[in-house]
Amino acid sequence: MKFSYIFPVSLGFTDGIITALMISSYLILNDLHMAISLAFRISTGSAAVGTFSYFIASFASNRAELSRISKHLNPSRPTGKISGTLLNEVYRDSMTGTVVSGACSFLGSMIPLGAYSISSSSIIVLIVTEVSLSILGYSLSRSLKGRSVPWIAGMFTFGVAVILIGLYVRIIV
């Protein structure tokens, strides 16, 4: 298995940005004050949840794939417990992805929250956040050899939708 950073980086940044927007969009769009300490706390919480979720999903997916391959390579042997070098590699890949995803989730959360803590201008925060999501969409389109416009438009639209949902649910008032 060759480890790829595309999944943990894209998941981490996307999760961080949208979680921060969901939690704080009401606060941001109503120009209410946010201390940098609150931005760090929200980003830390976002990273913690994202890190745990990433590890469980990654390890379960990689382990299931290893089990499937093992069954195909040796159909006469019961699958039972899988151990050894390949399982260690699955664990190592999942842990590496977890660390990368967690760091990217924290940094992604700090994009809108840090921008708002520093500038306190909702327009600047929205521009910085939407540009960040658009850049992420563009980067993904290049990495995946896809078309840029649908990725950029999709990420931009997703950001707007999350902001509107965050306004409606008013998590931080």
pLDDT 10s digits, 127-155 = 999 999 999 999 989 888 889 999 999 99
pTM strictly above 0.85: no
Cβ 134 vs Cβ 152: under 8 Å: yes
pLDDT at 115: 87
Question: 71 pLDDT band (50/70/90 cuts)?
Answer: confident
Highest mean pLDDT among 59-68, 108-117, 118-127: 108-117
Residue 73's pLDDT is 72
The angle formed by the CA atoms of residues 100, 65 and 101, to the nearest 5 degrees, is 10
The fraction of the chain above a pLDDT of 90, given in percent, is 40
Mean confidence (pLDDT) of the chain: 86
Average pLDDT (34-57) is 90
Of 7, 4, 11, the closest CA to residue 107 belongs to 11
Residue 1 has a pLDDT of: 36
Burial of residue 145 (CB within 10 Å: 0-12, 13-18, 19+) is exposed
- Is residue 142 classed exposed, middle or buried when 0-12, 13-18 and 19+ CB atoms within 10 A define those classes? exposed
- Closest of 144, 117, 134, 100 to residue 17, by C-alpha: 134
